[in-house]
Each structure stands twice: as structure tokens, then as C-alpha cells.
A and B are shown apart, each in its own frame.
Chain A
Amino acid sequence: MSIPAVRQPTRRGVELILLVFAWLIGVLGVLQVGWATGEGTTTRLWITIGVVGALALAMHITVRFTAPYADPIMLPVTTLLTILGLVMIYRIDVSAAQRAVRNDAPLPTPDVYAQLTWFAIAVVLFIAVLVIVRDHRRLQRYTYTFGLIGIILLVLPLAPVVGTTVNGATLWVRMFGLSFQPGELAKILLTIFFAGYLVVKRDSLALVRTKFLGLGFPRPKDLGPLLIAWLVSLAVLVFENDLGTSMLFFGLFVSMLYIATQRRSWLVLGGGLFVIGAVLAYMFFGHVRLRVEIWLDPWTYAQDSGYQIVQSLFGFANGGLLGAGLGQGFPNLVPFANTDFIVAALGEEIGLTGLIAMLLMYGILIERGLRTAISVRDSFGKLLAAGLSITLALQVFVIIGGVTKLIPLTGLTTPFLSYGGSSLIANFIIIGLLLRISDRARRPDVTAPAVDEALTQVVRRP
């Protein structure tokens, strides 16, 4: 009697169906914008829709061949968010163009096609990650290389010649006519570095020297890495005026430290340092103080420095529960509508209902990432997957919390949605890495089960 080999389902078909679904939502979105604004749909737009579909398909095929067991939900969710971003960027282009026509001004260059190009580049890098990094554990070998490059990228905007200050924050590098935010890439490299470093050092960092208030605290000499991370974060804040990246970087390190050591005392120490840093920043930096004051009372600053957040709130309010409808709001009234404030533009047009659906998509993405971290067996993979998911989560929280006045506003891009190449590329690399780890986590054991074991197969929870 021969027993057929039981195959672990790859769920790639589900992924494909969800991708088609995501693409169709995008098509409907474009049609809606075209109808509501009276612009219709141009050939160029249909080509864009086709290209987006082809790019999604290319990603799917790559995953199918290089990471067949990877999580089937992450890629469609990511793609849908990116497509929603493209639709909104297109919608804001239309608004800007219509305004230019009314004012007899020259037509602005639409951003949606540039974003499409960035999307294509992001897909190429996504594919490259899956093809080149066949096993995420190989990344551990380059822990310190990545760490070094990460730090260099982080401070690169400060370098003469290439560094550029845009809107007060020095986080751009301009080379060969292209601008790039190296901080976005640094985020990934430093996550890899933290994971590699903490895997090695976790035992000593978990050692308890003193007990205080029921918590075991580490030895003073082990505090070094945390202090360095703290100082680097402060440096980013001081020299680059970049509150968002600074908070993201420090929060990421502390969370990963906690995961690696399982010591809550690190959270307490990290939290304490964060508070000290925040107080110092508030006391010594006018721009930080101003941010906080605007946060506390934007209405006083409604005409100048609080203009953005006030306009953003007006946009959200106009959207209400169901939204004005795509193409029927006034997203161009909010400055930076297609970058920092794209959520405000979306909030106005798709309403609370749409935003909650969108937040749930982020929630699913992050949950899938953390689940990958839990189910993968190697510690490096766990830390890396958890770190990458936390990066996404913190970024979403900091920027959406900022534009909705939940926390002080800091300039960060909204992952996948915002216009901007660096962010899109970096986030697709993150998804590539997560899928790579997920494939490893869900793949059946390399050592094939014995034939008689196959009957009583162990089914891992998906």
C-alpha cells in the first residue's frame, strides 16, 4: 500500500486571488476619481493600471518560485495599500491640475507616474531580495557590515555636498539629480544589525545584577549599547531635526532588546531614557517645543505653524463617517497632501469607514509579521521579523497619530501610501524579508517526515 505524500499547502492561489481583488479595487478607485472629477480616464491611466497589475503579478510569480510557503496575506495587503496610495496620489494630481487650469497656471507634473516608477523599482528590489537572500540566516553573517552602513546612511544627510535640507528636516541626499532619504534604508540595515547583535549578546544582556521594585536590572557595563542607541537617536534629532526617525529608531531598539532578553527592565530603562530625551529636547530645542505647543493647541497657530494640522483636522471632519467620496473632497487644501498628510486626504474622501478598513490592513500586515516571528525557529529570524514588523507598526502609529493630533506631529511617510521613492522601496524590501522569513517558518521540515509519520502529520498552525 502506497501512501501519497501529504504536501503542506502553499496557499499561493489565495494570494493570487487576493492580488486580483486588490487590483480591481484600484481600477474601481481610478474610475471613481475619473467620474467624480469629470476627468474621465486617459490611455496613459489605463496603461498605468495595466503596469500595476503586471508588477503585482511579477511579485506573485517570484514568491511562488522563491518562497512558495510564504504567508499569502502580506503581499496582497501591501499591494492594496500601495494601490490605494497610487489612486490617492492620482486624485491629488487631478485636483492640482484642475486648479492650475482655473488659475491659468502651467500644469504641474503629475506625481502618480513618478510614484509608479518608484513602485516598479521597489518591485525589482523586492524580487532581488527574494532571489538573492535565499535564507535569511545568511544576513546574520554581515551583522556589523550592515550596522556600519546603516549608521553611515543615517548620518549621510549631514554630509556636505550631498546632504539636503527639505522643509527644515535634513534627511535627504541629493545625488545625480535624484533625491533619496537614506534613513529609510538605514532603518532596515539597522534592524538586521540589531537582530544579529542581540542574538549574540542576549545572554549577557539578560543577566541580572540588581533587583529593584521586583524587576531585575542589568549590569551597568551592559548598558552601553542602549546608551549608544539613545545618543544616536538624540543626534539624529539634534542635527537632522528629524523627530520621527529619532523616535522610530530608539523605539525599535528598545523593543528588540526586550524581545531578545525577555527582561522588562530594559523597557523601563528605555522608557526612562526616552522621557529624559524628550524633556531635554523640549527644553533645548525650539522646534520640538513648537511641535508640542501646536499639538496641545493647534487653533492658536491655525494661520502659521499649526496650519497643516488644522487643515488636516478639517479634512478628516469633512470626511465624517462615510467620506465625501473619492474625487469629491478638497484634499489639496491640506499641505503635503500626497506625502505626510495622505491619510488626511484619504480620511476626507473615504471617511472613517475607509480609514478603519485601512488601519485594519496595517494591523493584519503587522500581525502576520509578528506571527512569522513567533513561528520561525531561529532566534535571528525571530528578532528580525519582529523588528521589521515593529518598524512598520511604529511608523504607522507615529505618522497617523501625528496627523490626527493624537501625538505631536513628526514628519514620517505613511508606509506604502505616501508619495516618495525611498519609503516605498524600503518598505517593499521589508515585505520581501518578511516573506522570506515566513517561507522558512511555514516550510515543512527539510528532513522529510518518515512515511509512517506522514499519516499522523503535524499540522502547524498557519
Chain B
Amino acid sequence: MNRPIRRIGLVLALLMVALIVNLTIIQVFMARDYRDRPGNQRNLLAEYDRERGPILVGNEPAARSVETGNTLRYQREYSNGPLFAPVTGFYSLVYGATGLERTENNILTGKSDLFFVDRIQQLFAGRRRTGGAVTTTINSAAQEAAFKGLGSKVGAVVAIEPATGRILASVQSPSFDPNRLTNHDPASIREYYNALRDDPTKPLLNRPIVALNPPGSTFKLVTTAAALASGQYTPDSILPGPRAYTLPNTTTKLHNWNDKACGTNGQVTLRDALALSCNTAFAWLGVQLGDDALRAQAEKMGFDTAFDIPLRAARSMYPENPDVPQTALTAIGQFDVRATAMQMAMVGAAIGNGGVTMKPYLVQEVRGQDLAILKTTQPEVFATAMTAADAATETEMMVNVVDNGTGSNARIPGVRVAGKTGTAQTGNDRPSVAWFVSFAPAKNPKVAVAVMIEDAGTAEISGNALAAPIAKSVMKAVLR
């Protein structure tokens, strides 16, 4: 009877081998496929089972994980949700992640290779893996000042440190409360999300870096820079500034915002044209400089480039192939020029920084579990937009705007502030967009600000009336 026993033993051994082969297929070759199948809760649970690292503003967490005491062990908590929402984004069970929660996910979960040493230490010390911390470049005083200044207006504020490109403030209004998207109740998350999605003011839009609007008269800063760069104009150059300017090759008349001629007898210096925000003079100037010069100047200041800060900022646009009348309109920030608040802050920052455009960034440092710094973002030059001399000249012209021109509301006692107002028409019957771009102090500025208000009135003065005071309070918050 031994032979059949041996044979059966062989068959049973083959069955064992079949089990092992099958297990190998499942656990090694198919494992990735199974892990990513819908209905597999393990990724989610594993993600929520670990303490996700905080997003810090200064030393205070804007977002952190707290223990919940239910199946999903940790929940994201935003200490001042609406204030920091354009920076942190949200981390939702239902809608995934946005903002830094999304772009810095590998750091916050501790999956990044930066944590290699940390992970080995955790392995030996027997500690659970926790995520790293992300320190933002945000200045919470500036952020709060901008948030308070915007109030119930629809708009955005971006503040940049001109010398480095650090984003000191990125604020939107209306905002949303990420806490209500990151709780663990899918029904209430969906309800809140749908309400936000259907809101005509689009609170979920990351306005400071994504909303594109015509920059209006603030684009005259770019035109001025191009004019100085051409070598043919100084602040004292005399430009024609009539009440109305007939666009070349057309019969369309462009009027000044106050429907008056600029300067005496329709003759105005470049300095005064900027201070008065003289449309006819700048439209004429744009035509003289030509499309190529304007485009080159705009692109060196960040137009036509999408920046990853690391959030993807919308590409601000200089119009493609404008004809001569369109170039005239472009020179005053109308026609198809579109800019984000961040872009206009970069324009201000470049002028303030001696003509050097810095790449904007939002993440200052990455810290490990023990808060040791693992990575610091180094400032990077994007382009040299102007010579230092031209930048200094334009700065003086901008100081003149605040001291003697349309930007009077941005004055700060004891500080020389450089600024430019703007009001852009976005179409018939639609409210215009009010802008203010400024930096302070004029020499070695600590902060450049762009304020954009989308539901402004229709008068040119709204830039000064609505936007300049907000810029002023943000600058004061940084300079304090």
C-alpha cells in the first residue's frame, strides 16, 4: 500500500505548490492592481490612520490632524479655515485634496524620499510613521489684514516679498471653510460642496492665483517699463494726452476715464501720465512702442508662464498677435490682456526689486517628524525685466502716483509707498475690476501687493477707493 500513499503524497504536494503559486500571484503580481480597485478601503483607511503632518503659517498650524475616535482615525482640522483656504486647500474623503494638501501630499503623509532617514529611525525605534510638516511663506498678519480688508467684496489679494518671491499673503473673498469638506460625514460634505459649486461668486475658485481679469491701468506699469527700456523715453518725455484718442486705422475713440485732456493743452509728461492714469497718452505710447516690445516686457515680468508655487497658478496672458489698435488697448490693460492678482503683484515686486522678477513660491520649509528642517526653498530668479536704473526711475514715478496722483489712499505716514491704481472694464453692463498694485518701502521694499476687486463700480477712482486701502493695510502689516 506504500506506493499509492507516496503517489497521493505527491499529489498533495502539488496542491500545496498550487496554493503557493496562487498566493504569489495575488500578493506579488496582482497586489498593485487589487490595491487600486474601487471598493478597497485600505488605502483610505491607511491614509486616515496616520497622523498627517501640519501645514504651518509661522509656527502655528493652519491645518493639522486631530484624533477623531472613529474608524477613520484622524481628521483634518483647519484653525482658521476661510482665511487660509486658498493656501491649504482641503483634504476631503469625497472630493480628494486641493491646495497644498494636494501638492505636498507626499510630504504630509511622510511618503516622500526626504523622509528616508526618518523612516529608518521610526522602524528601529518602533514608532508609527507620521507625516512631515510644511511651513508656508505666508505672513499671518498680512494674510489677516488682506482678509479683513476684502470683507464681503469679491476679490483677491496677493502679497510677495520682492527680493525673494516669497508669497506673504494669498487671500480670496468669498472663501470657504475647508473644515466642512474634511469632516467624515460624506452627506454633509456633498451638501456643502454642492452649495459652493452652485454659488455664482465661485468660492471654490482659488482667486488669487487662478482668476484672470483685465489688469486695466495697472498694466501701464508694464508699458512704462517698456518705454523706459526703449531708451527713447524718460519720465519727463512729453506725450500727447488729448481728451480722446482715435485708435489707429479705426474711427473708434478712446476716452480718458474723466473725459478730460491730460496735462496742459493735451500735452503731458510720462510721469504725470502715470500719476493721472492717462489712457490716451498710454494708448499712443503703446502704439509707438509696438506689440513686440510690450510683449517682451510683459513676459519678463511673468506673463505667458504658468507658475507652480507649487499650486498651479493660471497663466496670465498677453494677447496673441494684436493689431495696432488692439496694441493701443493692450497698453492700457484692456482688450485681451488677462492677469491674476499674483501676476500683478509680481509686476510690482519686479520693479521694486531693481527690475529682477523672482519666481513666486509658497512653501518655505519641509520639516521632519521631529521638526528638523529637511528642505528649504531657495529663491530663484525668473528673469531680469528691467535695468536697475530703469527700475529706480519707475519706482520714483510710482511714488509720485501715491503722493500726487490717483493712489492717494495708499499713503502710509513715514513710509514711501510706490503704487498704481487700475479699473478694468470687463464688458458692457458688467462691474469693472478695481486694482491696486504697490510696494513699500520704495527703496528695498519688503512687500509688493496686488489687490483685485471684481465687483467694483465703474469709475476709475474705484482702484484708489476700494483697492488701495486694502493694499495699504497689508503693507502696514508686513512693515510693522
Identify the stretch in B17-25, B104-112, B218-226, B277-285 within 8 Å (CB) of chain A at 4 or more residues. B17-25
Cβ-defined partner of A317 (8 Å) among B6, B20, B30, B39: B30
Identify the stretch in A153-161, A170-178, A361-369 within 8 Å (CB) of chain B at 4 or more residues. A361-369
Q: Can you give 21 contacting A-B residue pairs, CB < 8 Å?
A: A102-B68, A102-B70, A314-B39, A316-B31, A317-B31, A319-B27, A320-B28, A321-B28, A330-B45, A352-B23, A355-B23, A366-B9, A367-B9, A370-B12, A382-B5, A386-B8, A396-B19, A401-B18, A404-B23, A405-B26, A406-B19
Q: How large is the interface on A (under 10, 10 to 19, 20 to 34, 35 or more residues)?
A: 35 or more
Kindly state the separation between the CA atoms of A367 and B12 in the bound complex, as whole angstroms.
Answer: 9
Least distance between B326 CB and chain A CB atoms (Å): 57
A362 and B8 contacting across the interface, CB-CB below 8 Å? no
Interface string of A374-401 (1 = CB under 8 A from B): 1000010011001000100100110011
**Given A314-B37, A316-B23, A401-B19, 14 extra CB contacts under 8 A:** A102-B68, A314-B35, A314-B40, A317-B26, A317-B31, A317-B32, A320-B31, A359-B23, A362-B16, A370-B8, A397-B12, A401-B18, A401-B22, A405-B26
A303 sits at the interface (CB 8 A) = yes
Q: How large is the interface on B (under 10, 10 to 19, 20 to 34, 35 or more residues)?
A: 35 or more
B126 sits at the interface (CB 8 A) = yes
B371 sits at the interface (CB 8 A) = no
A363 and B42 contacting across the interface, CB-CB below 8 Å? no
A284 sits at the interface (CB 8 A) = no
Kindly state the separation between the CA atoms of A382 and B19 in the bound complex, as whole angstroms.
Answer: 27
Least distance between B259 CB and chain A CB atoms (Å): 69
B4 and A259 contacting across the interface, CB-CB below 8 Å? yes
A390 and B8 contacting across the interface, CB-CB below 8 Å? yes
B34 sits at the interface (CB 8 A) = yes
A406 and B18 contacting across the interface, CB-CB below 8 Å? yes
Specify which chain A residues have a CB less than 8 angstroms from the CB of B68 in the assembled complex. 102
Specify which chain A residues have a CB less than 8 angstroms from the CB of B18 in the assembled complex. 401, 406
Kindly state the separation between the CA atoms of A259 and B23 in the bound complex, as whole angstroms.
Answer: 30
A317 and B27 contacting across the interface, CB-CB below 8 Å? yes
B1 sits at the interface (CB 8 A) = yes
Specify which chain A residues have a CB less than 8 angstroms from the CB of B35 in the assembled complex. 314, 317-318
Specify which chain A residues have a CB less than 8 angstroms from the CB of B12 in the assembled complex. 366, 370, 390, 393, 397
Given contacts A262-B3, A370-B5, A374-B6, contact A356 B26 (CB under 8 A): no
A313 and B34 contacting across the interface, CB-CB below 8 Å? yes
A416 sits at the interface (CB 8 A) = no
Cβ-defined partner of B42 (8 Å) among A330, A382, A404: A330
Q: Find the A residue at minimum CB distance from B27.
A: A352
A255 sits at the interface (CB 8 A) = yes
Given contacts A317-B31, A318-B35, contact A103 B26 (CB under 8 A): no
Specify which chain B residues have a CB less than 8 angstroms from the CB of A255 in the assembled complex. 8
Q: Which 8 A-B pairs have the closest CB atoms?
A: A317-B34, A352-B27, A317-B31, A259-B4, A406-B22, A102-B70, A393-B12, A370-B9
Cβ-defined partner of A363 (8 Å) among B6, B13, B22, B40: B13
A400 and B19 contacting across the interface, CB-CB below 8 Å? yes
Specify which chain B residues have a CB less than 8 angstroms from the CB of A366 in the assembled complex. 9, 12
B389 sits at the interface (CB 8 A) = no
A302 sits at the interface (CB 8 A) = yes
Cβ-defined partner of B26 (8 Å) among A262, A316, A359, A374: A316
B415 sits at the interface (CB 8 A) = no
A373 sits at the interface (CB 8 A) = yes
Least distance between A394 CB and chain B CB atoms (Å): 8
A287 sits at the interface (CB 8 A) = no
Least distance between B19 CB and chain A CB atoms (Å): 5
Interface string of A52-90 (1 = CB under 8 A from B): 000000000000000000000000000000000000000
A244 sits at the interface (CB 8 A) = no
Kindly state the separation between the CA atoms of A320 and B23 in the bound complex, as whole angstroms.
Answer: 10
Kindly state the separation between the CA atoms of A352 and B60 in the bound complex, as whole angstroms.
Answer: 44
A35 and B126 contacting across the interface, CB-CB below 8 Å? yes
Least distance between B125 CB and chain A CB atoms (Å): 11
Give the B-binding residues of A (Cβ under 8 A).
35, 99, 101-103, 255, 258-260, 262, 299, 302-303, 310, 313-314, 316-321, 330, 333, 347, 351-352, 355-356, 359, 362-363, 366-367, 370, 373-374, 379, 382-383, 386, 390, 393, 396-397, 400-401, 404-406
List residues 268-296 of chain B with CB under 8 A from any CB of chain A: none
Least distance between B36 CB and chain A CB atoms (Å): 9
Kindly state the separation between the CA atoms of A366 and B6 in the bound complex, as whole angstroms.
Answer: 12
A310 and B39 contacting across the interface, CB-CB below 8 Å? yes
Kindly state the separation between the CA atoms of A352 and B6 in the bound complex, as whole angstroms.
Answer: 28
Kindly state the separation between the CA atoms of A302 and B22 in the bound complex, as whole angstroms.
Answer: 20
Interface string of B246-258 (1 = CB under 8 A from A): 0000000000000
A303 and B22 contacting across the interface, CB-CB below 8 Å? no
Most buried by A among B12, B31, B40, B46: B12
Least distance between B132 CB and chain A CB atoms (Å): 20
Kindly state the separation between the CA atoms of A314 and B39 in the bound complex, as whole angstroms.
Answer: 9
Least distance between B17 CB and chain A CB atoms (Å): 9
Specify which chain A residues have a CB less than 8 angstroms from the CB of B16 in the assembled complex. 359, 362-363, 393, 397
Specify which chain B residues have a CB less than 8 angstroms from the CB of A347 in the assembled complex. 23, 27
Q: Find the B residue at minimum CB distance from A329.
A: B42
B28 and A352 contacting across the interface, CB-CB below 8 Å? yes
Q: Find the B residue at minimum CB distance from A367.
A: B9
Q: Find the B residue at minimum CB distance from A353.
A: B27
B427 sits at the interface (CB 8 A) = no
B13 and A102 contacting across the interface, CB-CB below 8 Å? no
B34 and A314 contacting across the interface, CB-CB below 8 Å? yes
B8 and A259 contacting across the interface, CB-CB below 8 Å? yes
Kindly state the separation between the CA atoms of A404 and B20 in the bound complex, as whole angstroms.
Answer: 10
Q: Find the B residue at minimum CB distance from A323.
A: B27
List residues 29-54 of chain B with CB under 8 A from any CB of chain A: 30-35, 37, 39-42, 45-46
Specify which chain A residues have a CB less than 8 angstroms from the CB of B42 in the assembled complex. 314, 318, 330, 333
B71 sits at the interface (CB 8 A) = yes
Given contacts A262-B4, A313-B34, A320-B27, contact A103 B39 (CB under 8 A): no
A262 and B1 contacting across the interface, CB-CB below 8 Å? yes
Q: Find the B residue at minimum CB distance from A343.
A: B23
Specify which chain B residues have a CB less than 8 angstroms from the CB of A355 in the assembled complex. 23, 27
Most buried by B among A103, A259, A401: A259
Kindly state the separation between the CA atoms of A302 and B41 in the bound complex, as whole angstroms.
Answer: 13
Kindly state the separation between the CA atoms of A103 and B69 in the bound complex, as whole angstroms.
Answer: 7
Given contacts A102-B71, A320-B28, A356-B23, contact A374 B37 (CB under 8 A): no
Specify which chain B residues have a CB less than 8 angstroms from the CB of A318 in the assembled complex. 31, 35, 42
Least distance between B65 CB and chain A CB atoms (Å): 15
Q: Find the A residue at minimum CB distance from B41.
A: A333
Specify which chain A residues have a CB less than 8 angstroms from the CB of B33 in the assembled complex. 317
A404 and B19 contacting across the interface, CB-CB below 8 Å? yes
B71 and A316 contacting across the interface, CB-CB below 8 Å? no
Specify which chain A residues have a CB less than 8 angstroms from the CB of B2 in the assembled complex. 374, 382
List residues 332-378 of chain B with CB under 8 A from any CB of chain A: none
Specify which chain B residues have a CB less than 8 angstroms from the CB of A390 in the assembled complex. 8, 12
Least distance between A283 CB and chain B CB atoms (Å): 27
Cβ-defined partner of A356 (8 Å) among B6, B20, B31, B39: B20
Specify which chain A residues have a CB less than 8 angstroms from the CB of B73 in the assembled complex. 102
Q: Find the B residue at minimum CB distance from A386.
A: B5
A258 and B8 contacting across the interface, CB-CB below 8 Å? yes
List residues 404-461 of chain B with CB under 8 A from any CB of chain A: none
Least distance between A119 CB and chain B CB atoms (Å): 25
